[in-house]
Amino acid sequence: MAMSPTLRNRIIGAIAGGGGAVAIATVMVSGKDGLEGREYLPYRDVVGVLTVCDGHTGSDIIPGKRYTDKECDALTRADMARIARQVDPHIRVKATDTQRAAIYSFAYNVGATATINSTLLKRLNARDYAGACNELKRWVFAGGKKWKGLMNRRDVEYEVCTWSQK
Reduced to 3 states, what is the DSSP secondary structure of residue 53? Answer: strand
- Catalytic residue numbers read 36, 45
String of DSSP letters for 14-51: HHHTT-HHHHHHHHHH-STTSSS--EEEEEE-TTS-EE
Closest CA to 104 of 145, 95, 131, 71: 95
Give the start-end residues of each E strand in the chain. Answer: 39-44, 50-53, 56-57, 141-142, 145-146
